[in-house]
């Protein structure tokens, strides 16, 4: 079976908020992330990913509730481990949540969650999500100690952070790919589903597809960028074709 694609629609909301953050009552508010999600589904996405940040810089609460009600695939809610966002997740009840680190200074999530250092604070959230029937994923760097921490926390899924691979060139990229390969092996041997994402695009995706037991990739910025020229549905369709090839 080919690797599946989840489409992150955050940056559709970024375009909307750039103009309408202070004028959300306008009848002209656009683009709507929900429209992008439905188009991505038509293009072959198996799920929609959206990150509800504490500062609401792109996705806002209403987006999450509307996505949950309207999409026909699954909602993967990316979130920081904060009481406010945890409470919202338990009201929305997405199929999946992916716990990520979050900094107000970053443009996008810049590193993996440190499950070794913060494992104790993650445990109550993971338990609450599990009891609510929500599958939990941890967004982590491809390091053996992070895989072991994820195993200890009992999560069913990890999403390997591919940012270092995406930014590297030449031998450095090969080293990053090797790190990802080892981490995927360790996770699958521990019975943990292997997902991956961050910085992936139409030109760097092929080597990632060699990772063992890889199930799903979550890609956003590159698809939204391509959609400027061909639309979300076609941009998604093109990425799905790469995953299948």
Residues acting as catalytic residues: 51, 78, 198
Residue 35 three-state SS: helix
Residue 197: what are its φ and ψ, rounded to 5°?
175, 165
Cα–Cα distance measured from residue 34 to residue 54, given in angstroms and rounded to the nearest whole number:
20
Query: Which of these, 46, 163, 23, lies nearest to 96 by C-alpha position?
Result: 46
Q: Of all helices (H) and strands (E), which one includes residue 193?
A: strand 193-197
Cα–Cα dist 168/177, whole Å: 10
- DSSP output for 82-148: -HHHHHHHHHH--SEEEE----TT-SS--S---HHHHHHHHHHHHHHHHHTT-EEEEEE-S-HHHHH
């Amino acid at each position: 079976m080919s690797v599946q694609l989840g489409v992150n629609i955050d940056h559709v909301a970024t375009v909307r908020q750039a103009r309408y953050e202070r004028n959300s009552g306008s009848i002209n508010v656009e683009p709507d992330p929900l429209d992008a999600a439905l188009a991505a589904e038509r293009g072959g996405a198996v799920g929609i990913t959206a990150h509800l940040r504490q500062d609401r810089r792109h996705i806002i609460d209403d987006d999450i509730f509307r996505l949950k009600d309207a999409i026909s695939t699954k909602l993967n809610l990316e979130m920081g481990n904060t009481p406010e966002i945890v409470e919202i997740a338990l009201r929305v009840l997405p199929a999946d949540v992916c716990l990520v680190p979050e900094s107000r200074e970053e443009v996008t999530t810049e590193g993996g969650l440190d499950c070794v250092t913060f494992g104790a604070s993650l445990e109550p959230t993971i338990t609450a999500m599990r009891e609510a029937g929500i599958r939990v994923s941890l967004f982590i760097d491809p390091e053996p100690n992070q895989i072991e921490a994820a195993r200890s926390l009992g999560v069913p899924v990890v999403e390997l952070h591919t940012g270092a691979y995406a930014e590297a060139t030449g031998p450095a990229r090969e080293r990053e790919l090797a790190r990802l390969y080892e981490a995927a092996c360790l996770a699958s041997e521990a019975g943990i589903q292997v997902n991956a994402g961050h910085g992936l695009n139409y030109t760097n995706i092929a080597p990632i597809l060699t990772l063992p037991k890889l199930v799903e990739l979550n890609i956003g910025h590159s698809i939204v960028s391509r959609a400027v020229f061909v639309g979300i549905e076609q941009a998604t369709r093109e990425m799905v074709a790469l995953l299948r090839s």
